[in-house]
Amino acid sequence: MKDPESATFDLACKALDAFQIEIPSWGFANTGTRFGKFVQAAAASTIEEKFADAAEVNRLTGVTPTLALHVLWDLPNGLADAPEVKELEQRFGIRSGSINPNLFQDQEYKFGSLCNPAQAIRQQALRHMLDSIEIGKALGSRDISLWLADGSNYPGTQSIRKRIGWLQDALSVCHEHLAPDQRLLIEYKPFEPAFYHTDIADWGMSSHLARHAGPQARVLVDTGHHYTAQNIEQIVAWLLHTGMLGGFHFNDRRYADDDLTLGSIDPYQIFRIFHEIHAAAGDGLALDIAYMIDQSHNLKGKVEAMVQTVVTAQELYLKAALVDRERLAVHQQSCDLVAAEELFRGAFWRDVRPLTRAWREARGLPADPLAALAASGYVERAARERGSRSAAVSSYA
């Protein structure tokens, strides 16, 4: 018989070994708000520097082998840039992750991209989607993550239903071009940049569009893309139940799409989401979920914020993995509310840091990734090497 401590450690190892998370190239760049940017000397401004930063995060945490790319910011020449990216993959030991088309920065997209009333502009947007799919094929990256900024600002100024039709048509064409192992992930967001209606405003719309597009399309849940009171774990449970959950963009927020670091405002929310996932896995549901971070680090140091986020994600994932689900099911069945809640909350309050630390040591990783980052001098070196250039400010405001 194993003692309970080592049984818990075995469980923890199983959970942590199975958990990887993708980091975004734009999280290393100088981003900001629409009011301005506070430029950091160590911020990455080239794709090479983003790969270097990603490799450092992976060296410290061991669980971030892929880097999400934003086509316009990272492959400005489209497919022609793929060989350079492949070379960087080799050099830094980091693979390209999800490909994020950019349908929100060109001037043509003032009134929409895939939903623009002008056919020529819809075509241009579709071409960009198809180029992004080809980039994914060239780089061997599986997921195309579509966030559509389309919408309108004033009632009556656009036909909401016509735009649904255009969107359905475009996504069907995209789906036809996917390789058999590629997926189309469809993100939703209730508002911003459009303030009256957003063409893909919630998970129901994403689900519908994904189903309509074809079997390789799924919903992408960005935790920042919900109204404040919304029960995100319930949405996740529904997407799990219906087989439509493709992945997450993790971040935290106090108000809207604040893109703050994961778990900084409401770690219990992320715990509850992970609980739904562990419960579904425990019930034998087939899951294929891409965990991705989508954050912009405006004030925190970029690499530091990313490492902190990865570590937080692991801790919350592990807390939820350690919920005694058998016992919880008994309490749920007998409607023993306080016992169920105490068990659930107890798992959330459990300090799993000794377990994550022991797991890291067992895997030959730094026991404390943030301390190891500080000790490495990586950020200071990057600031010295990168800071002298006139800071090219890429990415979005």
| Site residues (vs ligand RM4, CB under 6 A) | 100, 147, 187, 222, 249, 257, 294, 396
Q: x/- contact string, 273-312, with Mn ion (CB under 5 A)? A: ---------------------x------------------
Structure tokens at 86: 């492949």
Residues 163-222 touching Mn ion, rule: CB under 5 A, are 222
Query: Do 316 and 263 contact (CB within 8 A), yes or no?
Result: yes
The CB-of-200 to ligand RM4 minimum distance in angstroms stands at 11
Of 58 and 98, which has the nearer Cβ to ligand RM4?
98
Of 9 and 396, which has the nearer Cβ to Mn ion?
396
Q: What is the DSSP string of 62-109?
A: S---EEEEEHHHH-TTGGGGHHHHHHHHHHHT-EEEEEE---SSSGGG
Of 147 and 344, which has the nearer Cβ to ligand RM4?
147
The interface partner of residue 122, options being ligand RM4, Mn ion, none and the CB cut-off 5 to 8 Å by kind, is: none
Element (H, E) at 365: none
The CB-of-96 to Mn ion minimum distance in angstroms stands at 17
Of 199 and 222, which has the nearer Cβ to ligand RM4?
222
Angle between helices 82-92 and 47-61 (to 10 degrees): 30
The interface partner of residue 331, options being Mn ion, ligand RM4, none and the CB cut-off 5 to 8 Å by kind, is: none
Question: Which residues neighbour 5 within 8 Å (Cβ) at sequence distance 6 or greater?
Answer: none
The CB-of-183 to ligand RM4 minimum distance in angstroms stands at 15
The interface partner of residue 61, options being Mn ion, ligand RM4, none and the CB cut-off 5 to 8 Å by kind, is: none
The CB-of-355 to ligand RM4 minimum distance in angstroms stands at 31
Of 147 and 271, which has the nearer Cβ to ligand RM4?
147
Question: Contact between 257 and Mn ion (CB under 5 A)?
Answer: yes
Strand ranges for 149-233 from DSSP E = 151-152, 183-187, 197-198, 217-222
Query: Do 73 and 26 contact (CB within 8 A), yes or no?
Result: yes
- Rounded to whole angstroms, the Cα distance separating 329 from 332 reads 5
Structure tokens at 236: 């996740």
Of 49 and 259, which has the nearer Cβ to ligand RM4?
259
The interface partner of residue 191, options being ligand RM4, Mn ion, none and the CB cut-off 5 to 8 Å by kind, is: none
Out of 59, 175, 249, 302, which residue is the one contacting Mn ion (CB under 5 A)? 249
Q: What is the DSSP string of 113-144?
A: STT-SSHHHHHHHHHHHHHHHHHHHHHT--EE
The interface partner of residue 252, options being Mn ion, ligand RM4, none and the CB cut-off 5 to 8 Å by kind, is: none
Q: Which stretch binds Mn ion (CB under 5 A): 20-28, 133-141, 247-255, 304-312?
A: 247-255
- Rounded to whole angstroms, the Cα distance separating 53 from 42 reads 10
User: DSSP label at 33?
Assistant: B
- Chain positions contacting Mn ion, by CB under 5 A: 222, 249, 257, 294
